[in-house]
Structure 1
Amino acid sequence: MKHTRPLSPAMESLFQRIEHALNSAEGMAILIGEQYGPEPKPPAPMGYDARQIANAMVMLSQHGRCLLQKLRAEAEKVTYH
């Protein structure tokens, strides 16, 4: 029989800080992507494509958020025997 229990304040705070960092990274990536718009721009320093970097940041943030939800679910599980 499985039940969920509330997380300790320290764990809840940790999860909230991680989620905030992921949200901030995704927001910055969106702003970078918007800044570069649809028209081609000269390459960024060292040949990096800012749009590709922004897209990668968004994908990493979304994947991180998915992993964080799974971690939170595991931390909330309590199994009684």
Structure 2
Amino acid sequence: MSRHDIGQSIQPPAQLDLAWLGEQADEHGLRWLLVHADDGINWGERRARRWVLSYDVAPEIAPAFVPEHVQQVRLFDEAGDLLIWRE
């Protein structure tokens, strides 16, 4: 697992997607996902190198992951925290 210094910047892809977020989570040991989007909030857990989202479990209360709707994403665990936001 690689470590980054506090406050280090990374450049997400122009089209944020779950695959890239999964790569970041796996690389940095981050199990949990929290997405704030225009249409609601989605939680996720990384299991066997794939995301299980609250939308998968309860689509009646959690929105689908739509990259264009994302305002911010937080990947976190005891290993650390990665915050990505739209400017």
Please give the range of the TM-score, normalised by the shorter of the 2 chains: under 0.3
Give the TM-score of the pair, scaled to structure 1.
0.24
Which fold has the larger relative contact order, with Cα–Cα distance below 8 Å and residues 6 or more apart in sequence? 1
Mark the structure with the bigger radius of gyration. 1
- Structure 1 or 2: larger strand share? 2
- Structure 1 or 2: larger helix share? 1
Give the TM-score of the pair, scaled to structure 2.
0.23
